[in-house]
Structure 1
């Protein structure tokens, strides 16, 4: 009866919703990832409305039976975003059954979507269709050749207009220009996708892109097409070309085989040499300062290709390695950026950084010391967390070198690179967590490319650390690309086949011939202010997304909008890597589910950072409550009383001056008598290492030992037994590998709180501005941290302060009872820090 009642009720609700939609303009919508969600992955939709009326519930409904199968969790209201007055996140991560579903919240009903292990299956190969369609020279989609006369040289050491054969490669976007910068980055991502995820790619094409398998994965065939063209653009040692064609190409749209004389040299196109000096930019000159940005890209793509061909084509591999080394040397000789040229308009790829390119090149060549030197010159990619940037200013949009180099290292240098990634992600997260879409990517040209790059950085950070702190942010950015955005559309042509995807892109293929451009990633939304300022932009048809445009950003599925709806080759290649990674993740998750193993969890059992442990056994639903104190300790009576009432044992780490403070000593004795753990927190609350340069240790080893001994002496004077000295949380919870080594040498186990749990922010006060976190904010963020994925708090160390500055009147320890009740309800038990770590098999009590 209950089953029938659910079906009947949902049928009525659906009929009501349909009638409402037919007679009244919709006021609310639900945005989803149209590709779907994996059973074990994060699953979040966004409810958004042009009204302040919030939904009271959200339910997941089986699309075949119309039965309610899950009551989704609604976040707190996030407020206005873009065209919407109110937004809420709808979390159904806890539901994992395979099937097809939709969500209903209030009057809004989402499109139907699948939950399945195969939602990403074949997606990377699908996007390869666009790469093949972008081929210059022989084009397998058209089964014809184009641009076979290229080209004539400019700015080189040879006489201008010297002919050079540079036929081949990929057209950059919907125009037919070709750039080393984007082509080398694309080739690298395709090569890396095959190296990292060979199992997800098929073989259905020949090397020339025509039908019939050739025994080589199609993605590797495609990468080879790009590499062969790059070799032509680097015809001899020291000769590097940066660009083929220029914006005179834009005079008219045509199918590429219809080569047109726009350059005054018959069917030849200009080939711009990497001169290291400014070249034409419309009425002005570009800001070229060297060639290293281009040379580094040549070197890294050649070096990676050399590795992959070493076993199958030795001679080709050796040639590529030689080319890589020579290109790297050229970059060393002429450091600086090599920008593109433009004859008629000011629009160029205004690349502004180059050390990231040389870092990747050095890492690919296994030149670790050189790579580290370049890495230190740009630790965090500058656009991360920024609101704007010039077109392709910080390209590539992700620092691939940090990932490749970190995989080669151990110890301090590896931790520094990983922390650089974390800092960049955190810059984005600080803005993203203020809106329901978790959006903090600037709406500049090619915002989708930036989104892919940032999502990939989150993925690589997770691979390097097994830290899942930013998993929901990573997934939100991927979801954005496939429909969980204000416009409710996928940004990839034809993916998924059943979804709302671009139909009228800025492309001659579709506009002139109605050819599909399967798999092409379009540029994506831009700031409305940018859109209004662009030259020659217009809409050919009525705007189907008019309801969802705003003063913040616009997206148009219209041929006339080259700023938001033009597909790009390099963005698509980067997306191919990301989709391959997601398909590989789904395969791993499915294997773990079927075999009853959890590789990720077992790897996290001993989670550490910079030599200190930051989580216990993540397979156990255990938490350790840790309280620290230095100057303030007014919360001790409240904390002690609540712990006693809840029958919970906790751990307390105080500085020497805290232990000596006579006003705190009654509370310290009460803690000791109640058998809570007490330990050291330094004597004078010293800062051990620089806030901005973590590997810069600010104290000598002797000073560290003396200060620690003074802390221990204060504990002895307070009557605390020596057995408690074996665990140590550093002052400011800030340390480096040097401090960790000193702790180990003195027999002390160094640990800190689990990142992302936010309770440590309870020391802040309102006058600190954006850094201030109220107790309500802390609790809600912690709940969301836990609810985004079951078990996310397993093994966590939660840090709370025993007292805070009087300027904070909203004391978090007053909410301790509420926190413990929530965690108990979620099934967590509590352990002292010594029991927490020793039961995990992580640390010993020595």
Structure 2
């Protein structure tokens, strides 16, 4: 579960100060850019925002080396107030395509320097993989040490013939966030994204690590090695057709910061509880979840196994066959009791409150159809698709934590790319209808921001960009290219705070330095590539339990009732990195790098 809920706030008092960015000197206006840079043929937008009510008429792009003006343009339409800004403009310099290093000047303010180059996304997906390896449970290649090697003992598995506290080997997988809980729903979704990234964009990934995550090539792309780490754990969590487990550990984990090998919070030494999926509400303490069935999590297993079986068929046929058989049994398990499986919490009210499941069943059925070619799976996928045409948050301005997960309907893409005729057109129309709902909100502000500021808003931002890219792939219609790029730009600094939301990316930029992470807090270890949760509505931040900023807020001038973001260890709501969000980011960054590879190949 994302968020460390401390028992008392005394733990914060001994916070060891880390090097922090200086508080930005308050200016009347700022220019926000994508710090990664811009591609020569791509859209190039910066946003000018004023903290006081005034306007600009034009802007210039200036070569950093010579301070020579190389491009001048009208500022365009006024977009008015947004968050802390009294006036905003979108500064469009898309038509300028010369490579180099530049800055923008408008009025009396200038932007940070940025690059225009064909390689601005090169290596970024591999960089984000660093965080996934660092999140490994079992043997951790970053620490070169092992943790959670005694997992675990079963709970709620009596209906499957297992007495509570039965020993089971589920060592492996990834820690979910900065805590050490492990959830099947987020891990299966992350595994799917890594597999899809390799399948769709193999050319962007390198082979620098072995299967254990240590230096040394093994003939397999690192992203596929990482996906297999997730797959091997999912296989353990589904050891038999009648056994499928939902999570390891619970929110008792949140008692305080520690390194992963130091867990001993559940009364059985270093063993942790492993919660079985029985399709019923579960609790171990005060709070009861709203589980209604077995479908949402089990279907995610089936989808990951299906995609993996196709990829590994050329590498390890016995492993591919195992995955295929597990996909079949997971899909059958998902049908035991149609409904959603939520996570379990003991001490806090915060769970993954997932309420949708037909999208997961659609993806599972679509991947079953891809493998078997059996019409019944096509029909099942179409029926599930019609039950949730649009992922509900697209039409909302708020949601519960992980209420609709994954954050876009992955099944629509897997299904549509194989369909023809009217069925294909109908599925694609679901994507367009959802995007239009967001676009109606986004086009009213200078940042083209239509994603609600709910917990893990950055994850939604990544997913929306992916849906826009998939729509374009399916239709060759680039109507939403500006919306997609605005969401990418947002992640890398074109936002009110002017900061990247990815630790260490770019290395020269303003990125998180003080995340809510034991690795950085206790050991000052970098968590390269980790995507943090992102800004939340002011009222969400003010209502959360156990948040106390421990440093002066360098972004204070840019906070507002609309949204807040803090690069502060004490804020688990906006500055905690997430494993599943990072996995989705890897897919998005791979897609952007692949665009540039295709452009380069087209020139040959």
Report the TM-score when normalising by structure 2.
Answer: 0.94
Native 8 Å contact 1:238 1:327 kept in 2: no
Q: Which residue of 1 aligns with 2:6?
A: none
Native 8 Å contact 2:57 2:74 kept in 1: no
Compute the displacement of 1:24 (Å). 8.4
Mapped to 2, the partners of 1:379 and 1:134 lie a distance apart of 34
467-476 vs 69-78, which moves further: 69-78
Q: Which residue of 2 aligns with 1:476?
A: 486
Mapped to 2, the partners of 1:432 and 1:305 lie a distance apart of 36
Root-mean-square deviation over aligned CA pairs: 1.2
Compute the displacement of 1:73 (Å). 4.1
Match of 1:526 among 514, 529, 536: 536
Q: Which residue of 2 aligns with 1:110?
A: 111
Native 8 Å contact 1:29 1:49 kept in 2: yes
SS of the residue 1:101 aligns to: strand
Native 8 Å contact 1:182 1:570 kept in 2: yes
Aligned ranges 1:84-483 → 2 under 5 Å: 84-156=85-157, 157=160, 158-259=162-263, 261-280=264-283, 283-366=286-369, 367-483=377-493
| Greater RCO (Cα-Cα under 8 Å, separation 6 or more) | 2
> Are 1:537 and 2:547 an aligned pair?
yes
Compute the displacement of 1:329 (Å). 1.2
Mapped to 1, the partners of 2:509 and 2:235 lie a distance apart of 40
Q: Which residue of 2 aligns with 1:517?
A: 527
Mapped to 2, the partners of 1:166 and 1:82 lie a distance apart of 46
Native 8 Å contact 2:131 2:528 kept in 1: yes
Q: What do residues 463-492 of structure 1 show as CA deviations (whole Å, max 9, x unaligned)? A: 000001110010000000000000000000
Report the TM-score when normalising by structure 1.
Answer: 0.67
Native 8 Å contact 1:385 1:431 kept in 2: no
Q: Which residue of 2 aligns with 1:569?
A: 579
Q: What do residues 382-411 of structure 1 show as CA deviations (whole Å, max 9, x unaligned)? A: 001310001000000011100000011000
SS of the residue 1:448 aligns to: helix
Q: Which residue of 2 aligns with 1:801?
A: none
Compute the displacement of 1:352 (Å). 0.4
Structure 1, gaps ≥5 residues long: 1-21, 596-846
Mapped to 2, the partners of 1:488 and 1:301 lie a distance apart of 36
Mapped to 2, the partners of 1:389 and 1:175 lie a distance apart of 23
Compute the displacement of 1:282 (Å). 5.2
Native 8 Å contact 2:211 2:218 kept in 1: yes
Mapped to 1, the partners of 2:386 and 2:324 lie a distance apart of 25
Q: Which residue of 2 aligns with 1:496?
A: 506
Mapped to 2, the partners of 1:136 and 1:516 lie a distance apart of 18
Q: Which residue of 1 aligns with 2:373?
A: none
Q: Which residue of 2 aligns with 1:773?
A: none
Q: 1:94 to 1:182 in 2, by over 3 A?
A: same
Compute the displacement of 1:72 (Å). 3.0
Mapped to 1, the partners of 2:287 and 2:545 lie a distance apart of 17
Q: 1:30 to 1:468 in 2, by over 3 A?
A: same
Q: What do residues 601-651 of structure 1 show as CA deviations (whole Å, max 9, x unaligned)? A: xxxxxxxxxxxxxxxxxxxxxxxxxxxxxxxxxxxxxxxxxxxxxxxxxxx
Q: What do residues 198-232 of structure 1 show as CA deviations (whole Å, max 9, x unaligned)? A: 00000000100011111100000000000000000
> Are 1:49 and 2:50 an aligned pair?
yes
Mapped to 1, the partners of 2:262 and 2:334 lie a distance apart of 37
Mapped to 1, the partners of 2:143 and 2:408 lie a distance apart of 33
Compute the displacement of 1:591 (Å). 3.5
Mapped to 2, the partners of 1:540 and 1:432 lie a distance apart of 33
Q: Which residue of 2 aligns with 1:66?
A: 67
278-287 vs 226-235, which moves further: 278-287
Compute the displacement of 1:65 (Å). 1.0
Mapped to 2, the partners of 1:25 and 1:193 lie a distance apart of 41
Structure 2, gaps ≥5 residues long: 1-22, 370-376
Mapped to 1, the partners of 2:24 and 2:536 lie a distance apart of 33
Mapped to 2, the partners of 1:99 and 1:340 lie a distance apart of 49
Mapped to 2, the partners of 1:414 and 1:268 lie a distance apart of 49
Mapped to 1, the partners of 2:265 and 2:71 lie a distance apart of 61
SS of the residue 1:365 aligns to: helix
Please tell me whether Structure 1 or Structure 2 has the larger radius of gyration of its CA atoms.
Answer: 1
Mapped to 2, the partners of 1:343 and 1:308 lie a distance apart of 39
Mapped to 1, the partners of 2:52 and 2:174 lie a distance apart of 47
Compute the displacement of 1:332 (Å). 1.7
Mapped to 2, the partners of 1:273 and 1:333 lie a distance apart of 14
Q: 1:23 to 1:405 in 2, by over 3 A?
A: closer
Mapped to 1, the partners of 2:200 and 2:480 lie a distance apart of 21
Mapped to 2, the partners of 1:165 and 1:23 lie a distance apart of 50
Native 8 Å contact 1:233 1:240 kept in 2: yes
SS of the residue 1:423 aligns to: helix
Mapped to 2, the partners of 1:274 and 1:539 lie a distance apart of 37
Compute the displacement of 1:495 (Å). 0.0
> Are 1:506 and 2:516 an aligned pair?
yes
Native 8 Å contact 2:208 2:216 kept in 1: yes
Mapped to 1, the partners of 2:451 and 2:243 lie a distance apart of 37
Match of 1:586 among 585, 591, 596: 596
Mapped to 2, the partners of 1:370 and 1:188 lie a distance apart of 20
Mapped to 2, the partners of 1:42 and 1:311 lie a distance apart of 38
Aligned ranges 1:757-772 → 2 under 5 Å: none
SS of the residue 2:71 aligns to: strand
Mapped to 2, the partners of 1:450 and 1:72 lie a distance apart of 33
Mapped to 2, the partners of 1:281 and 1:542 lie a distance apart of 38
Native 8 Å contact 2:287 2:348 kept in 1: no
Q: 1:162 to 1:35 in 2, by over 3 A?
A: same
Mapped to 1, the partners of 2:410 and 2:436 lie a distance apart of 18
Mapped to 1, the partners of 2:59 and 2:285 lie a distance apart of 54
Q: What do residues 714-734 of structure 1 show as CA deviations (whole Å, max 9, x unaligned)? A: xxxxxxxxxxxxxxxxxxxxx
Compute the displacement of 1:238 (Å). 2.2
Compute the displacement of 1:23 (Å). 13
